[in-house]
Amino acid sequence: MKRVLPAVLIGFLVVPLCYAFPFWEKKTPDQQRREMRADAAKALKRLYKLAPGSKGVIRQAAGYGVFDLFSTKIFLTGSTSGKGVVVENKSKKETFMKMYKMGAGLGVGVKSFVWIYVFQTKEALDTFTNKGWEFGADADASAKWGARGGATGGGIQVAPGIIVYQLVDKGLALDAMVGGTKYWKNDKLNAGT
């Protein structure tokens, strides 16, 4: 039992890393980009159905990002990883990105979900895509504080100029725990664009 628990714990932390850095990936960068675009389109279609006001919020924004995420949690620790595409509305320029989050919290489970970021300002969009982004622990508190619904089309203000929508199996979540999350460009996928 002493050896089983650490092995299970390590497995739960490594699985999301493999999702973000799939060593078995056989698809070409073009195939991966097409798949991510298709996933993003499906997620946006689903969001617009669940929160119709979100369509106007995204249309008026500087840009948006759609991230497909995979999360595991066992006992007191967990991790989340994912990949996504950020689109600047005016130029339609795409930036493919990765993300990883490690956190603490009681529970056991595995889930997949989607975060859709809306960048209300060009500055927020540029900071996110060009410098990467790291949401600190305070982002969780601002997500809870900033949930207002109407003005953001059902999204949650998590930082100045940034709204997040979280799609889960049961619909649209009313919270988004983005604290401790790091984002960076996927150089392999951006090389061919």
pLDDT at 131: 82
Q: Global pTM?
A: 0.76
Q: Position 126: which residue type?
A: D
Q: Dihedrals φ, ψ of 78, to 5°? A: -165, 170
The whole-number pLDDT of residue 25 equals 59
Q: How far apart (Å, rounded) are the C-alpha atoms in residues 188 and 154?
A: 34
CA distance 21 to 16: 9
What integer pLDDT is reported at residue 89 of this predicted model? Answer: 98
Q: Kindly state the tokens that stand for 106.
A: 């009681």
Say if CB 83 and CB 188 are below 8 A apart: no
For the chain, domain boundaries:
4-190
| Tens-digit pLDDT string for the chain (193 aa) | 555 445 444 554 554 445 445 555 578 999 999 999 999 999 999 999 999 999 999 999 999 999 998 776 666 667 788 999 999 999 999 999 998 877 656 555 667 789 999 999 999 999 999 887 666 544 443 334 333 433 455 788 878 899 999 888 777 766 666 667 788 899 999 986 6
**What is the structure's pLDDT at 66?**
97
d(CA 47, CA 57): 12
Structure token pair of residue 71: 């999360």
Contact 67, 16 (CB under 8 A): no
Q: In this structure, what token pair is assigned to residue 167?
A: 């799609």
Q: Computed over its alpha carbons, how large is the radius of gyration of the chain?
A: 17
Per-residue CA distances from 105 to 31, 68, 175, 177, 192 (Å): 36, 21, 16, 11, 39
| pLDDT value of residue 35 | 95
Query: What SS3 class is residue 77?
Result: strand
57 touches 152 (CB < 8 A): yes
Give the model's pLDDT for residue 2: 54
Hey, which residues does 77 pair with through a beta bridge? 74, 104
